[in-house]
Amino acid sequence: MESDSIGSRKILQSVFGFHDFRSPQGEIIDTLVRGKDALVLMPTGGGKSLCYQIPSILREGCGIVISPLIALMQDQVSALRLLGVKAEFLNSTLDLASTLNIEKSLRENNLDLLYIAPERLNQTRTLKLISQSKIALFAIDEAHCVSQWGHDFRSDYLNLSLLPEMFPDTPRIALTATADERTKNEMLLRLQLQDAHKFISSFDRPNIRYRITLKQNVKTQLLSFLKKEHPKDAGIIYCLSRKKTEDIANWLQTKGFNALPYHAGLNNQARANHQARFLKEESVIIVATIAFGMGIDKPDVRFVAHLDLPKTIESYYQETGRAGRDGQPASAWMVYGLQDIIKLRQMMEGSEGSEEHKRAEHHRLNAMLGFCEITSCRRHALLAYFGEESQHSCANCDNCLEPMETWDGTEAARMALSVAYRTEQRFGVNHLIDVLRESTNDKIFQFGHQNLASYGIGKKIDNNQWRSVFRQLVARGYMSVNLERYGALALEEKCRPVLRGEETIQLRRDIKRKTIRQHTQTSLAADIDVALWEALRECRRLFAEELGVPPYVIFHDSSLQEMCSMLPQSMEEFHLINGVGERKMEKYGPAFMAVIIEHTAS
């Protein structure tokens, strides 16, 4: 076993084709190679997989990777095999003969990596198999699933505490891209990693542009966003309901987009087919509930759009993090409205969780609302939520690129709070606006609200602006939505200083922002020959179809762009391209070199 950084760097270059580690990959790998435990918090696309793949190759025995999604194991294993790594997976898709062959390979120490779902790992048969084999390490991917306070809780993760008890001398690494302080502490406790070396990278994804706007006409807004910025790009669109995913996917197909729905109501075969098409084809859009996405390795997702408000900042961060894993520019675009808040609160109240759990969920939703309503740098606020300080505005979010105009909303806020109080906190936003704007509908006279002091005091403010006022008061905690009264708005203790005239409020002025044109398809450098780029993509596509793998498994877009820029004229020069290891150079080098040489000679 090569236990120093020379061995790990050699594998990085010869097998994976990269010249240097990103910080802190090298330190994490050295920790595991020396037999020590590690907790890794690293953003999506930060290179977490190398942190356990290289030590699994270096150390004696096989690395066991505990991964929550069966559907993605095959792609991960296929990619490793193309690099010459001896990798397999054990899951319910295998027949008995294949399962027995893989188990035999594990016992005979003929594997570098074995991927297993947590449900299978907990089976007595699997634990017996592992105890009879030489194990290099255990890697627990998506480790935040162990947290009962988190957004992706999986009960089978709780049983992973048996690993240090059954295999006390085998190093473990737990990895996730999403964890606040509470979730991180629960991971350490439940996985018994209190003494592990902790590696916490920056949560910043500077290539992602964050934009959030109000719902007006959702389909019109979405179509404008896609046509102007991502007409041919792969992306993910998240919706709150299964029905809405079907509706949006079907509608996008009528508009010329290759859109597919994905939700738990589809049968297993349909979900698997849609996911496979998303991974293997170009320019596919998945319209999904949160059932889709965890562990998705597709590097060239150019946008993630939310058509409904996520429940937590953790969910939002993880879902938007599926865009731009290749480091190229990507969009995180969202529309939301007050109705989203009411729906989410209704869902929370109707859940079977404890009162403590519901309170925690409401707290996280309030944080998500606050994030939507801020007028300062979104990236700064996002990083601050995860305990990371940033000194400067990012210049890559809507609030930095087009600072939001604010206005003194103190008087309007007092009117809004007053009318809710005078109507006994029994009515929703539409009726409250009707009272403020002196409506003469039947409901006003039914309850005698034409006689209130608040009746007609807000005529100078239009309906849309009043909706904005109420939404911001809810988001900032001055008012709350009373679900027992079907969305009635109630006052919170926090509003007292405003009503007494002791506090002023600056509100954001909701105006339609200009579309910020960003990029279309993959952003290419100005000096790259588009014809050569397309020829290399076609060469990659043919290999991918032949092998039944996604195109990025052959080469990432960034590798193709390097080929276009460097124009290698020999295999030695081709080997210098990032992502070209020895196995890929031998297998694909001649074909890609032929494309380059033919193009430069013409």
Which residue pairs from 160-169 have beta carbons closer than 8 angstroms and sit at least 24 positions apart in sequence?
A: 160/66, 160/118, 160/121, 160/190, 160/191, 161/190, 161/191, 161/192, 162/122, 162/127, 163/138, 163/191, 164/192, 166/127, 166/131, 167/130, 167/131, 167/135, 167/138, 169/35
Is 284 in the same domain as 136? Answer: no
- pLDDT score for 519: 47
Integer Cα distance of 369 and 311 in angstroms = 9
C-beta separation of 207 from 45 below 8 A: no
Integer Cα distance of 289 and 375 in angstroms = 28
Integer Cα distance of 80 and 83 in angstroms = 5
Is 238 in the same domain as 386? Answer: yes
CATH number at residue 584: 1.10.150.80
Q: Is residue 302 part of a domain?
A: yes
C-beta separation of 540 from 558 below 8 A: no
Q: Is residue 521 part of a domain?
A: no
Is 300 in the same domain as 272? Answer: yes
Is 306 in the same domain as 366? Answer: yes
Hey, how many other C-beta atoms are within 10 angstroms of the C-beta on 88?
A: 24
CA atoms within 13 A on the CB side of 254: 6
Q: Is residue 514 part of a domain?
A: no
Q: Angle at CA 341, nearest 5°, toward 340 and 343? A: 65
- pLDDT score for 113: 97
CB within 8 Å of 225: residues ≥ 6 apart: 305, 331, 333, 515
Residue 138 three-state SS: strand
Question: DSSP character for 45?
Answer: T
Cis before 231? omega within 30: no
Q: Is residue 519 part of a domain?
A: no
Is 19 in the same domain as 148? Answer: yes
Please write down the HEC assignment for all residues of 338-394.
Answer: HHHHHHHHHHHHCCCCCHHHHHHHHHHHHHHHHHHHCCCCHHHHHHHHCCCCCCCCC
Residue where a domain stops, chosen among 401, 436, 451: 401
Structure tokens at 269: 């075969």
Hey, how many other C-beta atoms are within 10 angstroms of the C-beta on 182?
A: 12
- pLDDT score for 359: 74
Is 159 in the same domain as 214? Answer: no
Is 368 in the same domain as 284? Answer: yes
- pLDDT score for 350: 73
What domain range includes position 365?
Answer: 208-401
- pLDDT score for 272: 84
Is 394 in the same domain as 432? Answer: no
The residue assigned the tokens 């995860």 is 386
Integer Cα distance of 220 and 435 in angstroms = 31
Q: What's CA 537's distance to the chain center, in Å?
A: 26
Residue where a domain stops, chosen among 161, 177, 200: 200
The residue assigned the tokens 């009503």 is 499
Question: Residue 481 forms beta bridges with which residues?
Answer: 489
Q: Determine the number of helices (DSSP H) and then strands (DSSP E) in the chain.
A: 27, 17
How far is CA 514 from each of CA 17, 80, 219, 466, 583, rounded to the nearest angstrom? Answer: 42, 44, 17, 22, 48
The residue assigned the tokens 């731009």 is 324
Please provide residue 34's backbone torsions phi and psi, each rounded to the nearest 5 degrees: -80, 0
- pLDDT score for 111: 96
The residue assigned the tokens 């030590």 is 55
C-beta separation of 338 from 433 below 8 A: no
Is 243 in the same domain as 345? Answer: yes
How far is CA 425 from each of CA 25, 473, 505, rounded to the nearest angstrom? Answer: 55, 14, 21
Is 212 in the same domain as 359? Answer: yes
Is 396 in the same domain as 436? Answer: no
Q: Report CA torsion sign: 545, 287, 317, 199.
A: negative
CATH number at residue 68: 3.40.50.300
C-beta separation of 305 from 221 below 8 A: no
C-beta separation of 195 from 355 below 8 A: no
How many structural domains compose the chain?
4
The residue assigned the tokens 């902790």 is 198
Residue 318 three-state SS: helix
Q: Is residue 108 part of a domain?
A: yes
- pLDDT score for 3: 45
Residue where a domain stops, chosen among 174, 200, 226: 200
Structure tokens at 288: 């999904």
- pLDDT score for 511: 65
Q: Angle at CA 89, nearest 5°, toward 83 and 94? A: 125
- Which residues in the chain show pLDDT less than 70? 1-5, 71, 148-152, 291, 293-295, 483-486, 511-527, 602
Hey, how many other C-beta atoms are within 10 angstroms of the C-beta on 458?
A: 23
C-beta separation of 276 from 260 below 8 A: no
Please provide residue 269's backbone torsions phi and psi, each rounded to the nearest 5 degrees: -65, -40
User: Rg of the Cα trace of the chain?
Assistant: 27
Query: What single string gives the DSSP state of each residue in 322-342?
Result: TS-TTSS-EEEEEEE-HHHHH
> Looking at this protein, which amino acid is placed at residue 542?
L
Q: Is residue 513 part of a domain?
A: no
- pLDDT score for 68: 79
Q: Angle at CA 200, nearest 5°, toward 194 and 202? A: 160
Q: Is residue 520 part of a domain?
A: no
Structure tokens at 326: 């290749």
The b/e string for 16-47 (b: 16+ C-beta within 10 A; e otherwise) is bbbeebeebbbebbbbbbeeebbbbbbbbbbb
CATH number at residue 457: 1.10.10.10
CA atoms within 13 A on the CB side of 32: 32
Instruction: For residue 306, give the H/E element and its range.
Output: strand 303-306
CB within 8 Å of 464: residues ≥ 6 apart: 510
Q: Is residue 192 part of a domain?
A: yes
Structure tokens at 411: 């008087």
In this structure, are strands 258-262 and 284-288 parallel, antiparallel, or unpaired? Answer: parallel
Is 393 in the same domain as 461? Answer: no
How far is CA 7 from each of CA 4, 82, 267, 578, rounded to the nearest angstrom? Answer: 6, 21, 46, 19
Question: DSSP character for 4?
Answer: S
